[in-house]
């Protein structure tokens, strides 16, 4: 039996461009893995792919209840594992145990992280020696964010999100992540964005503002000038769908972060803080304000991988 940590992610930058003929939007995003995450275990069996789900976080009276997570082919872990085993012509089976902590519907990439770690676990279990780039390529048909999680660095992602360019992330910042008592549907947020752009005759294009390719600095860190501002094109449509997010934003801002933003298509909102004590103070203040689940986390981006090994 082997196990791996499946980190959640935060989008420090997300610019959404035109919708392509395949139905996906052109994206430009910078993502960083964080210390909030699930744990996945795998062990070999005689045949088939099975999954059990356990909880690491107390989901009592919360819409993220692990009882709502399917354990059959509806779950991306099972689906991608079956496909990968068939692709590699492996006839034996596997059993997965998922210890869940990442909240669903928050824009933190939990399902994508689980799928990517599934590939990494199978790669290790069967000694396949595939690079993370090979695993990322295989994952492209299963979801846009999966490729990011097949490697361990912060990354600039383009295309649908499947083109991954690892970058250095030197920041020692702390994040406070708020998950309101509700989630958001990614298709619904993108549909609202398209509706707003259509009514405003807006041009669908990725911002021309470029993201530094060598490293990313969040505003205010160690007095360094930022190379890119934290922003998210999906923030406005998400707030229109759930106006309560505007109140979450105000409450996060009232805690004096270096900067703040929504992650992915929401509903999670995060603030960036220089020190852990500042983040802890902000988290306690937010919890007292009954904004929902609040986590204090750090980036867990590692040095860019050498040789492309997974």
Report DSSP state, residue 144: S
* Catalytic-residue membership of 22: no
* Catalytic-residue membership of 9: yes
What are the angstrom distances between the C-alpha of 227 and each of 23, 59, 217, 301, 303?
Answer: 31, 38, 6, 18, 19
From 38, 145, 192, 251, the catalytic residue: 145
Strand, coil or helix: 128:
coil
Greatest alpha-carbon span in the chain: 57
Distance of CA 264 to the CA centre of its chain: 7
d(CA 145, CA 123): 19
From 9, 130, 249, 251, the catalytic residue: 9
Q: Which uninterrupted H or E stretch holds 236?
A: helix 235-241
To which residue do tokens 């395949």 refer? 22
Residue in 41, 118, 129, 96 with CA at minimum distance from that of residue 310: 129
Work out whether strand 174-179 and strand 231-232 pair parallel, antiparallel, or are unpaired.
unpaired
Strand, coil or helix: 134:
helix
Residues recognised as catalytic: 9, 145
């Amino acid at each position: 039996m082997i196990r791996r940590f499946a980190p959640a992610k935060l989008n420090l930058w997300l610019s959404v461009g035109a919708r392509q003929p395949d139905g996906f939007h052109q994206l430009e995003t910078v993502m960083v893995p964080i210390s909030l995450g699930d744990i996945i275990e795998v062990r070999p069996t005689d045949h088939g792919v099975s999954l059990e789900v356990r909880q690491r976080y107390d989901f009592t009276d919360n819409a993220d209840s692990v009882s709502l997570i399917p354990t059959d082919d509806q779950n991306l872990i099972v689906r991608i594992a079956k496909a990968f085993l068939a692709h590699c012509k492996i006839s034996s089976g596997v059993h997965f145990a998922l210890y869940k902590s990442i909240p669903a519907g928050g824009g933190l990439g939990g399902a994508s992280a689980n799928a990517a770690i599934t590939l990494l676990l199978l790669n290790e279990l069967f000694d396949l020696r595939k690079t993370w780039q090979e695993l990322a390529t295989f994952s492209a048909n299963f979801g846009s964010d999966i490729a990011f999680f097949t490697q361990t660095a912060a990354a600039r992602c383009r295309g649908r999100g499947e083109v991954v360019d690892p970058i250095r992330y030197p920041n020692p910042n702390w994040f406070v992540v708020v998950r309101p008592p509700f989630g958001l549907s990614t298709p619904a947020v993108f549909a609202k964005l398209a509706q707003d752009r259509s009514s405003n005759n807006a041009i669908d294009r990725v911002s021309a503002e470029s993201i530094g390719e060598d490293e990313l600095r969040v505003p205010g860190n160690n007095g360094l000038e930022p190379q890119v501002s934290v922003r998210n094109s999906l923030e406005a449509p998400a707030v229109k769908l759930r106006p309560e997010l505007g109140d979450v934003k105000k409450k996060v801002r009232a805690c004096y972060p270096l900067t703040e933003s929504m992650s992915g298509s929401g509903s999670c909102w995060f603030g960036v803080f220089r020190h852990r004590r500042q983040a802890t103070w902000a988290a306690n203040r937010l919890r007292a304000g009954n904004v929902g689940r609040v986590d204090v986390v750090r980036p867990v981006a590692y040095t860019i991988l050498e040789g492309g090994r997974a």
